[in-house]
Structure 1
Amino acid sequence: MTYAFASPGWMAFMHGLVTERVRRFQTEAPDISWSLCEVFTDPPADLSPDGSPLAWHCIVRDGEVTFGEGERDDVDVKIVIDYEAVVPLGRYDTRGEPARQAELAAMAQALRDAGKMQVIGDRSKRDPRVGDFHDIIARVTA
């Protein structure tokens, strides 16, 4: 099954993915802690009839996951990005290949350079034990 980027189904998938991943680590790494918010500006009318940005946030503390729609500033990292610009990144499956990971990073850097993407905060605060979600999400993003 695939979901339109940032649609309600996509958000539900993200929530389940993060919750499941954190649950797996509750015994071996109960101290995992990180938080993230992504804001997608200028979304299509079928996802945001009034044109309001779409946003989601996730806060992981002491083995608990707080996940919701909406923008938050009290997170480790907040990414604000143009919806149309982010969709190709969201669909790009690196397949775990270093060359494709570098290409994805270059695509993201090009968006920052063009002023279409802003990263606020320190991305290094994300606990590496959680692993990467990107490719899993890319495979379900229509």
Structure 2
Amino acid sequence: MKDGEFAIYLGKEYSAGKIEKGKIVLRSTDIEDVKNGFEPCKPFNIKYIEDKIVCMKFVNSPEITEYFIIRTMAFYKGFEFQVVEKTEDKLSIEATGGDCREWKRLGMKCIEKYVYQKWINKNEAEIKIVKENLKL
């Protein structure tokens, strides 16, 4: 599952995040990116990225050609939910806000205030990957 914020820098896609106005951190799993000014770092994992992050670079937003978020969505029993976790045959769907009576009717559990979650079989939902461009 590939979810999260991403940026296109020098024609290549990177896991990314805004750190302050006009500044973006790029995270790479490819140590060869040090040739493009990335700094090696202690390898670490972040959610939804399979390989370890091995180098990072801080850039100004004008250096980025595209900045976007990818979300995996599930259409389940007439509602659209964000997929927050998955296994080979199951999905964990989440609702934030909305009508809690509906979420309870669907068998969802309240995991924190206004957040409801449920594991479902993959074949019970239609899956859609949504890409939304973000402002730099």
Give the TM-score taking structure 1 as reference length.
Answer: 0.19
Q: Report which of the two has the higher share of helix.
A: 1
TM-score by length of 2: 0.20
Q: Which has the higher strand share?
A: 2
